[in-house]
Structures are given as structure tokens and as C-alpha cells.
Amino acid sequence: MKYRKWGAALIAAGIVASLGACSSGGGDSADGPQALTMLIGSSGDAETAAVESATQAWAADNNATVEVIVASDLTQQLSQGFAGDDAPDVFYMGWDQFSTYASNGYLDSYAADLSNAGDFYPSLVDTFTYDDTFTCAPKDFSTLGLIINTDLWAAAGLTDADVPTDWDSLEAVATKLTTPDTVGLSFGLEYARAGVFMNQAGGQLVDGDTVTADSDENVAGLEYLQKLHDAGVLKWPSEISAGWSGEALGAGKAAMVIEGPWIKGIKGDFPDTNYAAFELPAGPAGPSTFTFTNCWGIPANSDSRDASVSLVEFLTSDEQQLAAADAFGVIPSTESGAAEYATKYPENASFVAGADYAVSPVNFAGSATVISDFNAQLESLIGGDAKQILGSLQSNLQAALDEANGN
């Protein structure tokens, strides 16, 4: 396969520090099957096996082979692949990296031409649209929900009628669930979690070409978290000797956490932990949650484009997405597939329901670096000044947006 030489553009984008020219390849034989390579970031053996099974099924019907490569660091290996003449034919493209790759012309804009292009959730289409062009097909998605340890819930005398629906009731049940050994609520202190409270308060980080990070609404979202923490009913996983909030839930150190459908992964370490998932409580401005997704990326100017597009169309069919859901729990990116998923897995129906109002975290070229800095600054939230933290985010994010817009 041959690709445009990307070296100078990649250096300008800052994706890797030192790059060479890029043209790639996998290898098509004139008298043999077409050979494709696929780079994925796998959550574990179940996901890897499911992807390999699906690609082999497509390959068997299309005189092709597909080598599935599991990345140890997807972002780094993908950028190195483009830089070093070895870009994969198909790859996982994260929502947080999409705009950087799309804005520099690295991605083939194939998605709008798929036969199932109209079947995907509109919010996911928006996530993977650049310059008004639906670029790459979302492979699945996850939303955030409130995960409750049902044994601890019952022990506190709480019932289904007490499941929180707003901030006041969330604080009330978190207070009731907090004991000397267990905190009522826990989640990672990062934009990907704290940001939903900013959204629920009516805030957003970007409005058109204007950054609104230091708005009163965003301040209110962070100050609500400060309030819960000051009351002792919210703690970050690191404060309760947990690597992440799923571990905190499984070990009984937290009665409620905010996570996605990947929470099922705790069953391996904590098989006796019983839990249930609910939609996140609404804030003063209404409900909000984040949606996290990858798309199937295809390099621009690839001579294996037709085969790659055919493979992606196969993988994004409802049948194949539901098979992936069976294997490792992801939610299909099509509305019809997700509806069937919710019926088949009612315990995860709340994650599907959240898709109706979910938004993608801020995503434009250069934003990922700024958000990483914001995450670091959030470490000073407790005992700190929420408005000051957001003021720093405001200036940094506006500078990044201006640069992305060529200003």
C-alpha cells in the first residue's frame, strides 16, 4: 500500500517528536489474497479474540487476510506507523485524537458513503465529522452512569425509590451511604468525570469559536464537587487506596461510583460484588453524560481503500456489533443495534438511555494537551479556587482553539 508522505505535517502537528517520511504498506500480491493490517487498542483477551474472529470472517469471504495488531500504546504506535512507512490499513481512532488527524489530512473520509451511514447515533456522527464531512465510522460507544453497590445500598435501608435523580438526592444518598469504612461516592478527579457536573450545571467548554471554560455554570459544577468532598461523602479513588473507582466499588470502599459499561470488568477480581447501573442524576440545567467512542480509521490515499471500507462496513453491521457486545460489553454505535443491546442486556439499558442526551468531551486539534494540563490542575481543586483553575483552562483552551482555527 502507498500513502502520501506525512513527515512534515506530522511534525507540525506535534504528534511525535521526530519523524521520517511516510508511505506504508502491507502488501498486496497480484496472485494472492489482499493483506490488510489492523491496529487496535484492546481492553483484554475477549476484545482481541472478538476482533480477530470478525476480521477472519470477513477475510474468508473477500479473498483477503487481516493481521490484527494489539497496541501497547495505541496513540504512540499509530503516530509512529504514519511516520515510519508502516501505517495500518485500518485502526482504532480515538475521539480525542480524531480532530488532530483529520485536520492534517491523514484520514480517508469514507464514512458518509457507507450503506449504513444513516444508522449511527447523530452524536457519534458529530464526533467524527470534520469540516462538515462525516469522516470515519464509529465502532461502538460508552456513556457514563451511576453504579451502585446494591448490597451496601440495601444495608443502608435504601430502596429503588431512593435512586438519585438530581444533585440534592445524590448528596442525600451519598451521605447516608458514608460510613467509617465506606465513602458514599467516588470517581476519578479528571475532566472525563468532573466535566459532566459542569455540563449538568449548564456549562460547556466551547461555544462555537469561543471558549467558555470559566463560566459561572462550570464554576458551579466544580464547586458542587468541592461541597461533597468537604462533607466527606465524596472521595477520589487514590484517597481510599484504590487504583480506580471500579476497584473502590468492588472492594466495598465506595458505595457508588461514576463509570461506564466497562464496570463489568470488576467481576474478575470481585465476583461477589453486586451492583446496578443507573442514569446519572440531573443537574440544575438537566441531565448530561459523556459519550466515549472510537472510529474505524483508514489512511488517506491508501491503495487498499476499497477493501478497508468493505471491512469496516462489515464490522459496523448490527450483527457484528452485537457479537462484539456479547464478547466484551461495548454498545453498538447504530441506534437499532443499541436498542437490541438494551433489550438483551437490561442491566446496561441506562447506558443506552444516556445516549439520547450524551455529549462528547471537547475535541479539536490541540485540545488533548490542554485537557491533560487541566486534569493536573484539578488535583488542587480541594482547598483551591475553582474559578481560578477554570480561568487557566480558559486561556489555554482559547489559545489552542485560535491556533486550530488558524488565528
In angstroms, the CA 139 to CA 120 distance is: 10
Quick one: which of 336, 12, 311 has its CA closest to 325? 336
pLDDT of residue 85: 74
Q: Strand pairing partners for 400?
A: none
| pLDDT per position as a tens digit, 143-189 | 999 999 999 999 999 999 999 999 999 999 999 999 999 999 999 99
The answer on pLDDT for 200 being more than 70 is yes
Percent of the chain with pLDDT over 70: 92
| pLDDT tens column, 15-28 | 443 233 333 344 44
What is the predicted pLDDT for the residue at 405? 85
pLDDT tens digits, one per residue of 34-78: 999 999 998 888 899 999 999 999 999 999 999 999 999 999 999
Q: What is the pLDDT of residue 31?
A: 56
Give the residue with greater pLDDT, 407 vs 146.
146
CB 298 within 8 A of CB 308: yes
pLDDT at 399 over 50: yes
Residue 353's pLDDT band, with cuts at 50, 70 and 90, is: very high
Which pLDDT value is given to residue 329? 81
Give the pLDDT confidence of 241-261 residue by residue, as tens digits. Answer: 999 999 999 999 999 999 998
Q: Is the pLDDT of residue 387 over 70?
A: yes
Query: What's the CA gap between 123 and 125, in Å, rounded?
Result: 5
Please tell me which residue, 197 or 104, carries the higher pLDDT value: 197
Q: How far is it, in rounded angstroms, from Cα 270 to Cα 146?
A: 18
∠ CA 287-290-292 to the nearest 5 degrees? Answer: 155
Instruction: Compare 268 and 343 and report the one with higher pLDDT.
Output: 343
When the pLDDT of each residue in the chain is averaged and rounded to a whole number, the result is: 91
C-alpha to C-alpha distances, 26 to 194, 383, 394, nearest whole angstrom: 42, 54, 43
> Poorest-confidence range of 26-30, 84-88, 113-117, 243-247?
26-30
Q: Cell numbers 452524536 correspond to what residue? A: 123
CA nearest to 103, candidates 205, 14, 1, 209: 14
Confidence label for 9 from pLDDT (cuts 50, 70 and 90): very low
pLDDT at 86 over 60: yes
- 306-328 pLDDT per residue, tens: 999 999 999 999 999 999 998 88
Reported as a single tens digit per residue, the pLDDT across 203-230 is 999 998 899 999 999 999 999 999 999 9
The rounded distance, in Å, linking the Cα atoms of 99 and 130 is 7
DSSP 174-230: HHHH--SS-EEEE--SSHHHHHHHHHHTT--SEETTEE-TT-HHHHHHHHHHHHHHH
Cα–Cα–Cα angle for 176, 181, 184, rounded to 5 degrees: 35
pLDDT of 6 higher than 50: no
